[in-house]
Amino acid sequence: MKVGYIFATDMASTFKLATMILPQLETGNHGAEVVGMFFFDDNVYTLREGDPVGERLAKIAAEKNILLMACDQCALRRNLAEGDFSQCG
């Protein structure tokens, strides 16, 4: 079974990803093939270089070919992307 995760609620990446999903992926007992993850709101901070959870995620995503995506407007509002809102949509 293939799954994709959407991190859209408060602290979803801090709690659900960091304490449940990522440890299972790292030990190889997740049970489903994760094909992608999409991050919204403050969850996009996880994708910053140097973030401990993000660094672990980047490693496992590269190994397992997991697509990581962030909301463009969420990243722009948090100064994690370059561009302007006219490019969003």
Question: pLDDT tens, 1-52?
Answer: 999 999 999 999 999 999 999 999 999 999 999 999 999 999 999 999 999 9
Residue 72: in which H helix or E strand, if any? helix 72-77
Single pTM value for the model: 0.91
pLDDT digits (tens, 9 = 90+) for 58-88: 999 999 999 999 999 999 999 998 888 776 6
Confidence at residue 9, expressed as pLDDT on a 0 to 100 scale: 95
Confidence at residue 88, expressed as pLDDT on a 0 to 100 scale: 63
Confidence at residue 24, expressed as pLDDT on a 0 to 100 scale: 97
3-state helix, strand, coil in the chain (%, to 5): 50, 20, 30
How far is it, in rounded angstroms, from Cα 18 to Cα 13? 6
Helix residue spans in 5-71 (DSSP H): 12, 22-27, 52-64
Q: Do 22 and 57 touch, CB atoms closer than 8 A?
A: yes
b/e map 40-75, b = 16+ CB within 10 Å = bbbbbbbbeeeeebbebbbeebeeeebeeebbebbb
Confidence at residue 30, expressed as pLDDT on a 0 to 100 scale: 95
